[in-house]
Amino acid sequence: MFGINILGTGSYSPSLNVTNDDMSKIVETSDEWISTRTGIKSRFLSDGESAWQMGAKASERAIEAAGINPEEIGLVIGSTVTGDFYTPSLACLVQNAVGAVNAAAFDLNAACSGFAYSVDTAKRFLQTDDTLKYVLIVSSEVLSRFVDYTDRSTCVLFGDGAGAVVVERSEKLYTSFLGSDGNGAKFLYAKRFFPQHPFRTGETVDYGPDFTNETQFLFQDGKEVYKFATKALPTAAANAAEKIGLDPAEIDWFIPHQANVRIIETAAKNLGVSMDRFIVNLNRHGNTSSASIPTAFDEAVRDGRLKRGQKICLVGFGAGLTYGAVICEY
Ligand code: ACO
């Protein structure tokens, strides 16, 4: 089987640690409400650190753990929905910062599924290009950039952070499933700033009838996203497993997107897998979009839970709507 070997992992959290009690000082909420509805107790927020700087720190740690020379990295894939620049990409800035001087670099945007999409993209590049030795995947998010801190229904959910992995080709077990449902785009979005150029005749911008939120802050229909997420997570994992005739029960660790512990509990039930096989760190990080899976992954590697030879499932869902799972051997 053509697969990948995950050589090293790294993650980075910014310095501001904001608890639920801190949140209750800026919006009408409580630790009790946030904890029982989401499982989140605190989150890290950027104190001005940019996405690429956080991504570079996570990547340096992944490269160090992999024990490789960054000059041998042939491709950097960046995943972010909150990049610092329209252009250049997160990947290019990280490529320069870590000294991956021989690498191509690009970003992909699959929101909270971005890490699973990136790992699968890396695998396909490795499969079709024999000269490619190592791929660096970096997910970095400054969600505080577009979260409305006067809206209690969204601001308590999100955090900032970065995670990275270095992968190479191998013959280990590998399967994946990626999906999307653009019809649900209207349930979770943040509009881009649209400048008034000198030749425009009107003042309004037409984003289409579905996107009526007038601000550029993140809009979420929590109930619709919840419904989608509880289906998408088990569907992606089960579909990936089915491709190679694997029973989800044979997977040692699920590393899901960290949005809400109730979503993970429901998905675990639907998959018939016990919760103690799910890596969960959202209580300390909140939802860091595409950075959440590699951050949880790195923590589980470093605290010794994840062991070489175990089967893992990286499974994401998010805006787009997108969903995706990669099952591989660690
Ligand atoms: N503190 C106190 N009360 C609150 C808060 C808060 N932080 N937020 C909302 N409420 C109130 C609402 O105003 C509402 O009050 P009302 O009944 O007087 O109108 C009440 O709580 C219930 O609101 P609901 O939206 O019904 O609460 P629900 O139980 O659905 O939980 C939540 C909301 C946690 C957002 C849930 O819908 C959810 O988790 N959805 C999925 C969100 C998600 O995972 N998003 C990310 C996935 S993709 C990605 O990562 C980008």
- Write out pLDDT tens, residues 31-56: 999 999 999 999 999 999 999 999 99
What type of residue sits at position 241?
A
Rounded to 5 degrees, φ, ψ at 99 are 75, 30
In the numeric block, which tokens belong to residue 62? 């992944």
Nearest atom (ligand 1) to Cα of 38: 34
Q: Give me the pLDDT at residue 194, please.
A: 80
Instruction: List the one residue out of 280, 232, 251, 266 whose CA is nearest residue 113.
Output: 232
What spacing in Å lies between the alpha carbon of 287 and ligand 1's midpoint? 14
pTM: 0.96
**End-to-end C-alpha distance for the chain, whole angstroms:** 15
Rg, the chain, Cα only: 19
Q: Following CA atoms 24, 295, 77, 175 in sequence, which dihedral angle do they give, to the nearest 10 degrees?
A: -120
Q: Give me the pLDDT at residue 106, please.
A: 98
294, 156 contact by CB (below 8 A): no
What spacing in Å lies between the alpha carbon of 152 and ligand 1's midpoint? 8
Q: Is the CB of 260 under 6 A from ligand 1?
A: yes
What spacing in Å lies between the alpha carbon of 90 and ligand 1's midpoint? 31
Task: Name residue, tokens 């599924």.
Answer: 113
307, 328 contact by CB (below 8 A): no
Q: Give pLDDT < 50 ranges for the chain.
A: none
d(CA 50, CA 183) in angstroms, rounded, equals: 32
d(CA 128, CA 198) in angstroms, rounded, equals: 46
What type of residue sits at position 69?
N
Q: Give me the pLDDT at residue 205, please.
A: 87
d(CA 111, CA 225) in angstroms, rounded, equals: 13
In the numeric block, which tokens belong to residue 6? 């995950």
Angle at 147 between CA 227 and CA 178, to 5 degrees: 45
- Write out pLDDT tens, residues 232-258: 999 999 999 999 999 999 999 999 999
Q: Give me the pLDDT at residue 82, please.
A: 97
In the numeric block, which tokens belong to residue 137? 């995947």
Nearest atom (ligand 1) to Cα of 158: 50
Instruction: List the one residue out of 108, 164, 111, 109 whose CA is nearest residue 134.
Output: 164
CB within 8 Å of 209: residues ≥ 6 apart: none
In the numeric block, which tokens belong to residue 300? 């589980």
Q: Give me the pLDDT at residue 196, please.
A: 82
d(CA 292, CA 307) in angstroms, rounded, equals: 20
112 among known catalytic residues: yes
Q: Which of 226, 261, 265 to mutate to test the pocket of ligand 1 (most atoms within 8 A of CB)?
A: 226
257 among known catalytic residues: yes
Q: Give me the pLDDT at residue 25, please.
A: 98
219, 213 contact by CB (below 8 A): yes
Provide the β-strand partners of residue 178.
324
183 among known catalytic residues: no
E strands along 92-229, which residues?
104-108, 134-142, 160-170, 174-180, 188-189, 219-220
